[in-house]
Structure 1
Amino acid sequence: MRLHRNLCFSVIDGLTLIFNEGHYADKVIQQLLKRDKRWGARDRAFVAETTYDIVRWKRLYAEIAEVKEPFNRDNLWRLFAVWATLKGIKLPDWKYFEETPTRKIKGRFDELSKIRKFKESIPDWMDALGEKELGNSLWTKEINALNEQAEVVLRVNTLKTTKEKLQAELFDLDIESDFLPDYPHALKLKERANVFTTEAFKNGLFEVQDASSQLVAQFLNVQPGMRVVDTCAGAGGKTLHIASLMENKGQIIALDIYENKLHELKRRAKRNGAHNIEPRVIDSTKVIKKLYDKADRVLIDAPCSGLGVLRRNPDAKWKLQPEFIEDIKKTQQELLQQYSRMVKVGGQLVYATCSVLPSENQEQVHKFLASDSGKSFTFIKENKVLAHKSGFDGFYMALLERKQ
């Protein structure tokens, strides 16, 4: 591979924004890809994947390069040189790469790869927490899987098409995909592709949604004609899936505290042809109280550490703090206590997170069931999805039913 100066400069500019100014990696990359209209698919892929790679392995590369944050531009070029050397890419004769100790880089990599927190490039506290909660062996396998690049998985919108028809339509655009056993609405792309520019996407035939995330709506056991409340709907990935499973019949009330996210949901629902979704902003407790004892199904897709989705959000490793996890666990229990009251007798509730930590998952469910609010619920089943076993994101979901 030959390195091109303007592409490398873009990567360095992106890393400056992510590491030194705290910008989100996905937003930075979106901006970088608009820089030069002449860039082809390969150029854009290089910028996006190299930036994500250096973000993912920041701690390991910084340790090898012997640089510390905040990184100046020379430091960032040293990180880049480590990345290129470990990828087997010949460094060009540029001033940024003068005196790059290629052999020393490889030696340091071999040495540091024996220590998990460096090998997997994670903060000390995260390594300690993962081991404490999952045990040494399980955490080692899981954090290794969470450092792999996420594959592109689509969820077919069955309100508009079938899996077979969508696969054929994409094949005509040279986008090949595979069916996934056990994921009835999923297509996995054989190679990464910008599917957002396709007519199929613009016409609402699919959404991009990880296979593990697609399990949640199915876990909710929805039927056409029900009243369903999605309590933390956000921009509506799971809400839209629920709408397709309900065949546009019945009512889905999509709640969130952020109005801008619900605006995005409205836009996506229109594109998807989902007409039974009613977004409501949680601007007071009245919004919640009006729904007490009214819902056949309630989904609490709770805010969490996001440790299960590090493959697609590698910068979260550096933004996340242990105090945040402690605070979010209090929020998770509050949501269970409050939102469970929307479930009517005989109705069901799903509590879900994109975390792999038992303290955010089954321990929260056990705590809720032991409380006064939880005494009217019975535990039906749970699904602990680990990335190293599934090959997709880490997720948790528990199904509870309100007793007669």
Structure 2
Amino acid sequence: MELIHRNLLIGIHDALQETFFEKNKYADKVIERLLKANKKWGSQDRAVVSEIFYNIIRWKKRLEYYMGEGVKPSNIYKLILAYVLWSQTRFKKFDEFDGIKTADIITKLKKNTVPTKAIEHSIPDWLAETLEKELGADWEKEMQALNEQAPTVLRANSLKTSAKELISDLSDENIVSYTIKNYPDAVQLEEKKNVFLTTSFKDGLFEVQDASSQKIGYFLDVKEGQRVVDACAGAGGKTLHLAALMGNKGQIIALDIFDWKLAELKRRAKRAGAHNIETRLISDNKVIKRLYEKADRLLIDAPCSGLGVLKRNPDSKWKIDQEFIDRIKKEQQQILQDYSKILKKGGKMVYATCSILPSENNKQIEEFLQNNPNFKMIKDEKVMPSEGYDGFYMAMIERVS
């Protein structure tokens, strides 16, 4: 890696401080603000800062072991130094680390062993126990994959273009990309670039959406002219895909409990040329009740632990705990019970999460079907991080009476 200047080092330090010591500050927003505030940094500098920032978050527990103590606001430079020595990154003016002893870190690095699996994979102890309990012997393989950097995958907006046409358009803007086998709309970048500055993005030719996430739109098996409800739409990544798959024909009702997310969805839909989406804020239970037995298709992209997407959100493993997962599982079951009534007889719904825990996935579906004999399972699928993209689960269920 190139030598790194002091101003970049300070930027990384401040971003880590904000991520670790200010509640609800998510890494993606922190780095976005840092890069916006330093417009003079070149593209290479920006890429290096992002890479080091995310890698330190990813490997925090292992780096703490090398440091010999936990991360405190006063020793973030020591955390960075541990990463520098471990990854053999070199900073310009290494004497800026004066006052921080490197000998202890170097001694531990030379041993090249760590005492626990949680430290090896850099996750909280409780999470190592949960993953082993739920995934068995495969948990380490999945955790290894989750500690890799996520590729950048785009979804070509079929209302305006195709994957092959998008690749050509991006090439005109000096971005190299390629199609992914078995993912009709997916385009993967050869290297990370800020695609949001491209004309192709401004013209609504694509959205950034992981390949696994794109599977869900196809899994729902939507048809032109249907009434489709996206019950946890958020900012609308999957909603927009459904609109494209329906060729703008029929109706999509996008629901969410956050108005600002629906406002973002409207903005994105306008750019994408998706005209068949209506947003509705879930302000009370009546919003859901008015839709009972009205939908041909229902997507429940349920709130979850997010453990399948740690490649791109490594900070979330430090922000959640077992209590959060237990609470979210109750919420998932409640959403399934309440929102499933939206389906007509003969209608189909997909329950999806970006978790890899069976207790959030197939176990939830098994419990729902036991309590609701008027529904039947058609199929389900799990996509694991070791397959190359985000971890996801999806189950299709039909209302039979």
Report the TM range for the smaller structure's normalisation. over 0.9
Partner of 1:400: 397
Q: Which residue of 2 aligns with 1:116?
A: 117
Instruction: Return the offset for 1:111.
Output: 1.4
TM value normalised by structure 1: 0.96
Alignment-mate amino acid for residue 39 of structure 1: W
Mapped contact 1:81–1:97 kept (Cα < 8 A): no
Does the CA-based 8 Å contact 2:243-2:277 persist in structure 1? yes
What residue identity is the alignment partner of 2:126?
A: W
Partner of 1:220: 220
Amino acid at match of 2:28: D
Identity of aligned residues (%): 52
What stretches of structure 1 of length at least 5 have no aligned partner? none
CA distance in 2, matches of 1:382, 1:250: 26
Question: In structure 2, what is the equivalent of residue 58 of structure 1?
Answer: 60
Q: Which amino acid aligns with 2:89?
A: I
- Superposition RMSD on alpha carbons, in Å? 1.2
Paired position in structure 2 for 1:103: 106
What's the CA shift for 1:95? 3.7
SS of the counterpart of 2:133?
A: helix
After superposition, the Cα gap between the structure-2 partners of 1:10 and 1:398, relative to the gap in structure 1 and judged at 3 Å, is same
Is the CA contact (8 Å cut-off) linking 2:71 and 2:79 kept in structure 1? no
Cα deviation, 1:241-270, whole Å, max 9, x if unaligned, reads 000000000000000011110000000000
Tell me the SS of whatever aligns to 1:33.
helix
Provide the rounded CA distance (Å) in 2 between the counterparts of 1:167 and 1:187.
7
Counterpart mapping for 1:189-204 below 5 A: 189-204=189-204
Cα contact 1:85–1:105 (8 A) shared by 2: no
Cα offset, 1:107, TM superposition? 2.0
User: What are the residue-to-residue correspondences of 1:85-164 with 2, within 5 Å?
Assistant: 85-91=85-91, 92-97=93-98, 99-101=101-103, 103-108=106-111, 110-112=112-114, 115-135=116-136, 137-164=137-164
Q: Is the 8 A contact 1:253 1:279 kept in 2?
A: yes
Q: Is the CA contact (8 Å cut-off) linking 2:118 and 2:128 kept in structure 1? A: yes
* Corresponding residue number in structure 1 for 2:279: 279
Distance 1:351 1:34, change over 3 A: same
Deviation string 1:68-125 (CA, Å, 9 cap, x unpaired) is 24331xx2111111111122233533242554226324225x111x632111100000
Q: Which residue does the alignment assign to 1:386? A: 384
Mapped partners of 2:98, 2:351: distance in 1: 51
Partner amino acid for 2:196?
Answer: F
Letter in 1 for 2:110: G
Q: Tell me the distance in 1 between the aligned counterparts of 2:251 and 2:95.
A: 61
Q: Which residue type is aligned with residue 177 of structure 1?
A: S
Aligned to 2:370: 370
2:171 paired residue number: 171
Q: Give 1:355's aligned residue.
A: 355
- Tell me which of 68, 71, 75 is aligned to 2:70: 68
CA distance in 2, matches of 1:382, 1:97: 56
Q: How does 1:246-265 map onto structure 2 within 5 Å?
A: 246-265=246-265
- For 1:67, the aligned partner's letter is E
Q: How many residues are paired up?
A: 396
CA drift at 1:293: 0.7
Amino acid at match of 1:286: K
Partner residue, 2:28: 26
Q: Which amino acid aligns with 1:26?
A: D
Residue 63 of structure 1 deviates from its aligned partner by 1.1
User: In 2 relative to 1, CA 185–97 (structure 1 residues): closer, same or farther, beyond 3 Å?
Assistant: farther
Offset of 1:24 from its aligned partner? Answer: 1.1
**1:35 Cα deviation from its structure 2 partner:** 2.5
**C-alpha separation in 2, matches of 1:97 and 1:187:** 46
Structure 1 position 66, deviation (Å): 1.2
Q: 1:190-339 to 2 correspondence within 5 Å?
A: 190-339=190-339
